[in-house]
A = this chain, B = another copy of it.
């Protein structure tokens, strides 16, 4: 349990994302104090934090207004994140690598492979896959030698779908409504891209590493387009429901990696 203002910020952020606060709505400190039974001090801190994150913005006169989150905005943010990740891959390829980082990446690839080969995409499998995907991407961000890459990525990762190594899944295929093979194929292609990225980094090929990571990052953008083609009006809430919920704790990842 963190401090109240952090929890408050998380709550309000979640409310904005899932549409409880629709965009343009005025947010006042007093109202939040009343509804959450807290004093104004943590409310102030939470609002400031959300303002810096870009979730809310100071209104014309008084108070804050809720910034609109659109599918297109998420697509844009994903693009920025992908571009930063491609920088990380290039930098890591052309710098001296830590052996443990490479090992962790290889381990993630193998584990994802094993999870895909299970053939069933139950919730637990998805969570594990998400955790390994996170480990792969986060290792590159941390291991590229430029700490500002990860820092900058983290700055936009409070939006849905933007946490490190986030994955989007076609819930319909998982529920058996549409054929699961296409989703499996997608995952296999994604992991083969992981292999290429790993090889390029390990062999010190920055151009290939950057290019493959750029391609790999487009996966989610294309996935979003698939959803848009199927659903005539894709909402942010839809996207959130398609994504793997819950961020894996870094400690859990490392713990599992040690086993």
Contact = CB atoms under 8 A, between A and B. Distances in A.
A87 B44 CA distance: 35
Given A54-B151, A155-B155, A156-B151, A79 B48 contact: no
A96 to B, nearest CB: 15
A79 B146 contact: yes
Contact of A73 (B77, B83, B148): B148
Interface string A133-162: 000000000000011110110011000000
A73 B152 contact: no
A120 B46 CA distance: 50
Interface of A: 41, 44-45, 48-49, 52, 54, 73, 76-77, 79-80, 83-84, 87, 91, 146-149, 151-152, 155-156
Question: What 6 pairs between A and B have smallest CB-CB spacing?
Answer: A76-B146, A155-B155, A83-B87, A80-B148, A77-B148, A76-B148
A49 B47 CA distance: 12
Given A83-B84, A152-B152, A152-B155, A147 B76 contact: yes
Looking at A77, A146, A148, A155, which has the most chain B CB atoms within 10 Å of its CB?
A148
Contacts of A91: 79
A116 B41 CA distance: 52
Contacts of A52: 49, 52
A80 B152 contact: yes
Nearest to A82: B87
B84 A80 contact: yes
Contacts of A152: 80, 84, 152, 155-156
A38 B151 CA distance: 31
